Amino acid sequence: MDINLPGMNGFHALRALRESAETRSIPVIALTAAATERDRQRGKEGGFYRYITKPVKVDELLSALDTPARRLRRAQGGSVRDAGRTAKAS
């Protein structure tokens, strides 16, 4: 999620997600050009799962996406390998 969204910044959007039981547990990754140490600390304190700055490093983004995806697959009773096959078959 971009931090600098028009009309509602990423912190407000994250707060709205956390208020709903349906979206409360979704890990939200901040993706932003705001890259100072203060910005990073604010993101961590704000509850973002990860805080990734632009320009995006593909390996960093994929790593951030991989961990929650693996947890979800395990919670659903499938293995990581099975989930990949299912996604490709769809």
The gap between the terminal CA atoms of the chain, to the nearest Å, is 26
Q: How confident is the model at residue 3 (pLDDT cuts 50, 70, 90)?
A: very high
Q: At what angle do helices 37-46 and 10-19 cross, to 10 degrees?
A: 10
List the one residue out of 7, 60, 59 whose CA is nearest residue 30: 60
Q: Assign 79 a pLDDT band (cuts: 50, 70, 90).
A: low
Token pair of 26, please?
């979704």
Q: pTM of the full predicted structure? A: 0.75
Residue 47 near residue 24 (C-beta atoms within 8 A): no
Predicted confidence (pLDDT) at residue 40 exceeds the cutoff of 90: yes
Verify cis geometry, omega within 30 degrees of 0, for the bond prior to 55.
yes
How many other β-carbons are positioned within 10 Å of the β-carbon of residue 49? Answer: 15
In 10 A of CB 26, how many CB atoms? 13
